[in-house]
Structure 1
């Protein structure tokens, strides 16, 4: 039977297991994909603790981890057009992607360009698309200064690149261990930790025009003090705090058109996925711990053997 990495109840890592599951079937408007790669994101372990997107459905348990995959179409559901068995695709699964098979809705699935590997494509539906949506939401003019917290993680690395491609000056907050990575992306690095606002002012004199937060909590609160216009404060990590501070969450488009756009940027060289570690499905627990413990530089991807 096909393998999948799941959580059997809400809680910590002790709830996780690699199990056998029946191969899923495609419903109307859906595809069954033989997964070749699955991106690992903080939202994956957060869902294990009980988090769900506002308005999102509750997960059936056991629940498969993962929110972005690439692979090959094995089956098409009723009413599907534009996709056929054998097509190479990437997108957001309906209910998990750390598995040998996943179900994808056609509304959030795109064709994988030939010039993009399965591993790189699996980093785009969550990390790169979130970065793309956030940078567009801020709508800053060329030359403006954007502060990005969590700049060394998967979304952060993509956001720095997209902001730089848009002509923005970028200040990236990340740990000292990720300084070289942040600076390699042509951003000004500021180490995370207490007295963040003071260090940002020292490292990048002048006004900060917007903040793209990917950490939340105290980091988000400190970054907000650098802004006079809180409408230019967005987060992909902490909806409650950003609402209290007068900002907004990243407005996710969640469309195939966005996936096509970020794939084109990746193929064109404006967006490098920065996959720094890969793991086989059998070591999904190790992949998830790397992200959950905050040690990931760039993107972590699970590769699924054919």
Structure 2
């Protein structure tokens, strides 16, 4: 039977295990994919801990972990067009991606370009697409200055690079340990912590035009004080009610094939490097998740599945 990395109840790492599961069957509008790589994201451990996405139906256990994957189409669900068995694809998963087989939503999947590896493709549907959606939402003109908090993480790394590709000047907030990394992405580094706003003003005396927050909490509150137009404050790191109180908004996720095509094209053109820093086999998925859950990872972590 195919293997998958699952959690058996809401809780901590003790709920996780590698399990043998029946091969999924694609429903209408879905693709069954033989997984080659699956991206690891903070939302994965948050879901295991009990977080529920808006509108999520009752959860069944064991629940396969993971929200994004790349692989080869094995079978099409009813009504799916534009894909065929053997196609290399990537996209958002239905029911988890840390597995030998996974289901993708056909409308949230795209063909993998030949110049894009499965490992890099698996990082794009969550982190890079979120970064892209937020930047499109801000709609800043070339030459504007954007502040990105959490600039050393998965979404932040993508946001800095995509913003630079859009012609923006970027100030990246991250720990001192990630200074060289953030600067290598083309951003002005500012350390996080107390008095963030003062350090940003010292680094860019002419101010910032927008804030893309990926951290929330006091970092978001401090960054908001830098803006005169709070409509140019977006977050993927705080709840809607929190950012709304500051005059901003949550990133509106598109989750479309067009966005996946756009971020894949940025990688192929050399404007976006997913910065995959660690890869793990499926039987070490727990180690991969710990790296992200501990909050010290820079760039992206990927689980690679043997073909």
| TM-score bracket, shorter-length normalisation | over 0.9
| Alpha-carbon shift at residue 80 of structure 1 (Å) | 1.4
1:261 maps to: 262
Offset, 1:70 = 0.1
How many angstroms apart in 1 are the aligned matches of 2:31 and 2:21?
17
**1:55 Cα shift?**
2.8
Determine helix, strand or coil for the equivalent of 2:93.
Answer: coil
Deviations 1:37-78 (A, max 9, x none): 000111111111222232333432221111110000111111
After TM superposition, the score normalised by the length of structure 1 is 0.98
User: Which runs of 4 or more aligned residues in structure 1 lie more than 4 Å from their structure 2 counterparts after TM superposition?
Assistant: none
1: distance between equivalents of 2:259 and 2:168? 21
Determine the structure 2 residue equivalent to 1:284.
285
TM-score, normalization by structure 2 = 0.97
Within 5 Å, which residues of 2 pair with 1:1-306? 1-239=1-239, 240-306=241-307
Single out whichever of 95-104 and 198-207 deviates more from structure 2. 198-207
Runs of 5+ consecutive residues of structure 2 not aligned to the other structure: none
- Please list the CA deviations of residues 9-32 of structure 1 after superposition, one character each: whole Å capped at 9, or x if unmatched: 111111111111111011111111
CA distance in 2, matches of 1:227, 1:53: 30
> Equivalent residue of 2:223, what SS?
helix
1:106 alignment partner, SS class: strand
Q: Deviations over 1:219-257 (max 9, x none)?
A: 111111111111111111212321221211101001111
Instruction: Tell me, in whole angstroms, the C-alpha distance in 1 between the residues paired with 2:191 and 2:113.
Output: 36
Instruction: Determine if contact 1:52/1:58 at 8 Å carries over to the other structure.
Output: no
Tell me the secondary structure at the aligned position of residue 72 of structure 2: strand
RMSD between superposed Cα atoms in Å: 1.0
